[in-house]
Amino acid sequence: MAKQKAPALEQLPLTALKGVGERLALTLQKLGLHYVQDVLFHLPLRYLDRTRISPIGQLQLNTSVMIQGRVLSTQITYGRRRSLVVQLEDDSGVVCLRFYHFSGHQKDKLQQGVLLRCYGEPRLGRSGLEFYHPEYDYIDEANATQLEQRLTPIYGLTDGISQQRMRAIVEQAVDLIHQNPPDEYLPAEYNRRFQCESLVEALQSVHRPEKGAALNLLMEGLHPSQKRLAFEELLAHFLVRRKLHQQAAAQKAPTLKMDKALQQQFLNSLPFSLTAAQQRVAKEIQANLGSGKPMLRMVQGDVGSGKTLVAALAALCGVSSGYQVAVVAPTEILAEQHFHNFSGWLENLGLRVAWLVGKLTASKRRAALESIASGEAQVVVGTHALFQQDVSFHSLGLAVIDEQHRFGVDQRLSLRQQNSKGEIPHQLVMTATPIPRTLAMTAYAELDYSLIDELPPGRTPVNTVLVTQARREQVIERIRAACSEGKQAYWVCTLVEDSESLAAANAEETAALLRENLADLNIGLVHGRLKASEKEAVMKAFKAAELHLLVATTVIEVGVDVPNASLMIIENPERLGLAQLHQLRGRVGRGEVASHCVLLYGEKLSEQARSRLQVLRETNDGFLVAERDLQLRGPGELLGTRQTGEMQYRVADMLRDEHMLQEVNALGEQFLRHQAAVAEKLIARWVGEREQYSLV
């Protein structure tokens, strides 16, 4: 009788593993683990080296190690917080173990002379290098526990499962890998290129790295096995995004055609002409809108490049075809600015622009909802409030989402269901955060991509200078001189109130001090903890030139447009990413006068921080700034929610693995054309049920 073949690991339920019952299986589902193969691809986040003991005298800051020594003393100390301090000694030195959460029983067991084996990462503390809440075991010298023979993997967990339990589950899954190995989907040459005989070898290497394996490579994700897996994971994510692009193309969307007479009337009303880049991108958008297939297009352009005007042209196309348009912004300040811009541009053409934000009174909100539901409101500008369930559009044809990386994916998804006619609304997403092209075309592979790579004439480059806090008084005098000439200025702080952990400037204190020093100037204050009405009043006063100086937190990073403001001071710029600093800097230089940005840095600026800030001195090109920021900080800030939550990568890293992206894209297109079934299997392996979250 033929031996029955074992079920494939992608079909073998977790309950087939020893010790995994229905309850634990439900817990593992929170991590997206449903089958044994899912466990194999639940890769370690990092590793511990428990294969050797390090001498206490050779400890290094922030380097995880195992140490072994005898307890010299144990005492409870009282400071800001009560802590249990244990001094541990070996032949090479003494170190402190510090516990803020401890029991009397724990203190009593840690007696003088007890031999401990500890694992942790020493950090600077009150007594020098200290271990905070390290893992430790009591060692019986007669029966000393053998050291590990492999590096110890650390996995992502959820409530209800310990690290030890997870390791035991993974060990069982790895034991099954030879009986029924996962299918190879990459061409054979990729295994050879990454020095792996097979996918099985790559998985074993990352789950069970042998003693002596290159820990530094594993910790940085540069081990050949990790690189082979990262390539496959990047490929799967590219495939799911391109697949979504194909799915969108197969769906029905409103056919939106521009009324040329209305467009010309709109363009004639503007006090300026569109740049060539704006005209090119507007044509790309109109071609999409008239195709009858849902547009998914990202428009990227540096601060001040005129994205809003391009969005207004798209809105005009939607409205002239009898459909409504939603314009969504991440903050009420930016939403109000869009509302004023769209109203000023479109209401003169006889079009009705409404707005919906959280601060509206009940009666105004009710009136707005009614006008949206009836179709009377042709363009609706708002914030997150537009995503709420009680918002029902009469005929939504286009959604414009500004600074889209600030919204959750599920929020953007909700607008796709807002068309009562069953058609999929077009989506235009905009960002002023420059994202390098290779990265954008991979991370947003389901989107068509337009770039406004030209600034309108008359925009003056911002002169950026680095100034130490020691010259603060001179900077204040510079503000006085600028404001006496009729100009306006920003002073940007990074905190609202004091913090023990951060030495950044306090916005409220700064405003008070500046009012003392500049008593002849009108000074306003705006930050995220003010009521919306208070913020709105201050911003209106600044835009109306009733205030000379605006002290603000980074709440003014996006969208505030005051052409008369030509001077910006940013305190503690070393605390912010380059992309964010560039966005802030973009609030000045919006008029025709020469503008300046002063980076007022702390006294102790590291060489690395200084070299980062130099980038802003050297260029006003947002894309060059973004490239440098990507190198220094990674893609998380640039991509927003794309690098968090549901779509987080297991082993790949968009920055570290950027050199592979072009080949990933090329291979992905081949799979979609010639191996669609394999593409589906790759998506299932790496993305699985999270696929829905990659929709925009």
For the stretch 422-435, pLDDT in tens is 678 999 998 876 67
Confidence of residue 438 (pLDDT cuts 50, 70, 90): low
pLDDT at 643: 36
- Residues 184 and 192: their CA atoms lie apart, in Å, by 13
Residue 152 lies in a domain: no
Considering the domain boundaries, does residue 484 fall inside one? yes
Domain end position, chosen among 452, 485, 505: 452
Mean pLDDT over 210-236 rounds to 90
Neighbours of 454 (CB within 10 A): 15
> In the prediction, which pLDDT does 642 show?
39
Residue 634: per-residue pLDDT: 55
Closest CA to 393 of 368, 356, 420: 420
- 605 vs 492, higher pLDDT: 492
Structural domain includes residue 293: yes
Nearest to 351, CA basis, from 378, 312, 331, 391: 378
| Mean pLDDT, the chain, integer | 85
> What pLDDT shows up at residue 76?
92
Residue 666 is assigned to a structural domain of this protein: no
Read off the pLDDT of each residue in 560-577 and give the average, rounded to a whole number.
Answer: 86
Residues 509 and 442 in one domain: no
- Residue 208 burial class via C-beta count within 10 angstroms: exposed 0-12, middle 13-18, buried 19 and up: middle
Question: What was the pLDDT predicted at 36?
Answer: 94
Do 444 and 475 have their domain in common?
no
Containing structural domain, residue 35: 14-45+162-220
Contact 433/582 with Cβ under 8 angstroms? no
Helices (H) and strands (E) in the chain, counts: 24, 22
Residues 391 and 318 placed together within one structural domain of the fold: yes
Judged against a pLDDT cut of 70, whether residue 609 lies above it is answered with yes
Does residue 209 or residue 629 have the better pLDDT? Answer: 209
If DSSP codes are grouped into helix, strand and coil, which group holds residue 694? Answer: helix
Q: What is the pLDDT of residue 557?
A: 53
Q: Nearest to residue 436, comparing CAs of 581, 669, 631?
A: 631
Q: What's the pLDDT tens digit per position in 271-308? A: 889 999 999 999 999 999 999 988 989 898 877 788 99
**DSSP structure class, residue 495:** B
What's the CATH number where 614 sits?
3.40.50.300
Of 79-83, 301-305, 477-481, 660-664, the range with the highest mean pLDDT is 477-481
Do 448 and 411 fall within a single domain?
Answer: yes
Q: Which residue has the tokens 């409030």?
A: 385
- In the 8-state DSSP scheme, what is residue 486? T
589 dihedral zone (left: phi>0; alpha: psi -120 to 50; beta): left
Specify which of 114-118, 406-410, 456-460, 579-583 reaches the highest per-range mean pLDDT.
114-118
DSSP helix/strand/coil, 642: helix
Q: Whole-angstrom Cα distance, residue 342 to residue 348?
A: 10
Q: 398 and 303 share a domain?
A: yes
pLDDT of residue 4: 56
The CA-atom distances, in angstroms, between 231 and each of 228, 237, 649 are 5, 10, 11
Q: pLDDT over 70 for what percent of the chain?
A: 88
Phi and psi dihedrals of 560, rounded to 5? Answer: -75, 125
Look at residue 237 and tell me if it is in a domain: no
Which pLDDT does position 526 carry in this prediction?
86
- The reply to whether 308 and 430 lie within a common domain is yes
- Domain final residue pick, 619, 644, 662: 619
Cα–Cα dist 633/626, whole Å: 10
Boundary residue ending a domain (568, 591, 619): 619
Measuring CA to CA, which residue among 530, 488, 93 is closest to residue 538? 530
pLDDT of residue 363: 92
pTM above 0.75, yes or no: no
Give pLDDT, residue 656: 82
Nearest partner of 232 among 40, 437, 373, judged by Cα: 40
What's residue 644's pLDDT? 35
Q: How far is CA 194 from the centre of its chain?
A: 29
pLDDT of res. 406: 56
Give yes or no for residue 641 having a pLDDT over 50: no
Assess if residue 501 is contained within a domain: yes
Quote the Cα angle for 324-328-333, to 5°.
130
Residue linked to tokens 């894209």: 665
For residue 328, what pLDDT is reported? 92
pLDDT confidence band for 412 (50 / 70 / 90): low
Query: Stretch 617-622: mean pLDDT, rounded?
Result: 84
Query: What is the reported pLDDT for 410?
Result: 54
% of the chain at pLDDT higher than 90: 45
Positive or negative: CA dihedral 117, 122, 124, 128: positive
State yes or no: pLDDT of 360 exceeds 50: yes
Radius of gyration (C-alpha) of the chain in whole angstroms: 29
Residue 425 CB neighbour total at 10 angstroms? 25
Residue with tokens 């269901």: 417
Angle, in degrees to the nearest 10, between helices 332-346 and 532-543: 50
**Which has more pLDDT, 620 or 328?**
328
* Under 8 Å between Cβ of 119 and 88: no
Domain check: are 170 and 38 in the same one? yes
Which residues partner with 525 through β-bridges?
Answer: 551
Whole-number pLDDT of residue 352: 96
Lowest mean pLDDT among 164-173, 374-383, 574-583: 574-583
- Both 494 and 545 in one domain: the answer is yes
Phi, psi angles (nearest 5°) of residue 151: -65, 150
Q: What is the pLDDT of residue 449?
A: 85
- What does the alpha-carbon distance between residue 428 and residue 206 come to, in Å, rounded to a whole number? 41
Q: Based on the domain organization, do 478 and 505 belong to the same domain?
A: yes
Determine, yes or no, domain membership for 676.
no
pLDDT value, residue 480? 95
Could you tell me which residue, 45 or 530, shows the higher pLDDT?
Answer: 45
Q: Number of C-alpha atoms within 13 angstroms, CB side, residue 365?
A: 12
In this structure, the answer to whether residues 103 and 174 fall within a common structural domain is no
The whole-number pLDDT of residue 414 equals 63
Q: Domain total for the chain?
A: 4
- Distance, in Å, from the CA atom of 668 to the CA atom of 652, rounded to the nearest integer, reads 16
pLDDT in tens, 55-70: 999 888 877 888 999 9
More confident position, 480 or 607: 480
Nearest Cα neighbor of 312 from 349, 287, 276, 261 is: 349
Q: Both tokens of residue 506?
A: 């306090």
Spatial contact of 71 and 51, defined as CB atoms under 8 Å apart? no
- Indicate the pLDDT class of residue 694, thresholds 50, 70 and 90: very low
Which of the two residues, 634 and 312, has the higher pLDDT score?
312
Q: Which residues contact 350 (CB under 8 A, 6 or more apart)?
A: none
The answer to whether the beta carbons of residues 418 and 642 sit under 8 Å apart is: no
Alpha helical stretches, state H, 1-142: 22-29, 36-40, 104-109
637 within a domain of the structure (yes/no): no
Do 302 and 432 lie in a common domain? yes
Tell me: the pLDDT tens digits for 135-193?
888 988 777 677 888 888 989 888 888 888 999 999 999 999 988 899 999 998 998 99
What burial letters (b/e) apply to 233-245, b meaning 16+ CB within 10 Å? bbbbbbbbbbbbb
pLDDT at 466: 92
Query: Which of 140-154, 283-297, 515-529, 590-604 has the highest average model confidence (pLDDT)?
Result: 283-297
Quick one: average pLDDT of 371-392?
A: 90
540: helix, strand or coil: helix
Q: What is the pLDDT of residue 490?
A: 94
CATH number of 68's domain: 2.40.50.140
Q: At what angle do helices 260-269 and 307-319 cross, to 10 degrees?
A: 150
Residue 1: its pLDDT value, please? Answer: 47
* 631-637: average pLDDT: 57
Whether the pLDDT of residue 582 is over 60: the answer is yes
Q: Judging by beta carbons within 10 Å of its beta carbon (0-12, 13-18, 19+), is residue 166 exposed, middle or buried?
A: buried
Residues 413 and 482 both lie in one domain = no
Concatenate the DSSP letters of all residues of 564-610 into one string.
TEEEEEEESGGGS-HHHHHHHHTTSS-SSS-EEEEEEE-SS--HHHH
Band (115; pLDDT cuts 50, 70, 90): very high
Q: What is the pLDDT of residue 399?
A: 92
Return all residues near 635 (Cβ < 8 A) that are at least 6 apart: 439, 443, 643, 653, 654, 655
